[in-house]
Amino acid sequence: MVDVGAKPVTARTAEASGFVQMAESTVSAIRDRRTPKGDPLEAARLAGIMAAKRTGELIPLCHPLALTHADVQIRLEENGARITATASTSAQTGVEMEALTAVSVAALTLYDMLKAIDREMVIGDIRLERKSGGKSGEWKRKK
């Protein structure tokens, strides 16, 4: 792991996003609560938060961090689900990986919860949207 011992502790936040493309009929099944495994949105939201908290165990050489906040929001769109995750802490290193991991695991959970009705879903567009804190300060993805 990179030695961050000499870096100052600062408040850090990161936001990431991703998209699970799915058939319109799958989106309708979610809205109408007709999915075979239960509520895929709530299961994915919780899975993403749990994954953010365990990122240091999942990604080699990633520092384990005590998060002060983790949140996952999932918004249904006409052709899929937009996932947004935020993670925050006060530490010597950033929380970008925690936000990205939350989005990734939430997307995988949606796939698992919905694969019985839609095997053609596509997980994609997982990316960092913004971050703050540390030496580099504020950063926001260019649209």
Say which CATH number the domain at 79 has. Answer: 3.30.70.640
The C-alpha atoms of residue 40 and residue 46 are separated, in whole angstroms, by 10
Asked if residue 87 lies in contact with residue 52, where contact means CB atoms within 8 angstroms, the answer is yes
Predicted local distance difference test score (pLDDT) of residue 7: 83
**Domains contained in the chain, number:** 1
- Considering the domain boundaries, does residue 72 fall inside one? yes
The C-alpha atoms of residue 9 and residue 117 are separated, in whole angstroms, by 47
Predicted local distance difference test score (pLDDT) of residue 1: 74
Just list the catalytic residues. 112
- Considering the domain boundaries, does residue 3 fall inside one? no
The C-alpha atoms of residue 141 and residue 143 are separated, in whole angstroms, by 6
Residue type, 62: C
**What pTM did the predictor assign?**
0.94
- Considering the domain boundaries, does residue 6 fall inside one? no
- Considering the domain boundaries, does residue 10 fall inside one? no
Structure tokens at 113: 């919860």
- Considering the domain boundaries, does residue 114 fall inside one? yes
DSSP 8-state code for residue 35: -
Task: Tell me the average confidence (pLDDT) per consecutive run of 10 residues in the chain, 143 residues long.
Answer: 80 96 98 96 98 95 93 98 97 90 98 97 97 89 88
Question: Domain containing 115: what range?
Answer: 16-133
Distance of CA 72 to the CA centre of its chain: 6
- Considering the domain boundaries, does residue 4 fall inside one? no
Paired residues of 70 in beta bridges: 87
- Considering the domain boundaries, does residue 37 fall inside one? yes
Predicted local distance difference test score (pLDDT) of residue 10: 85
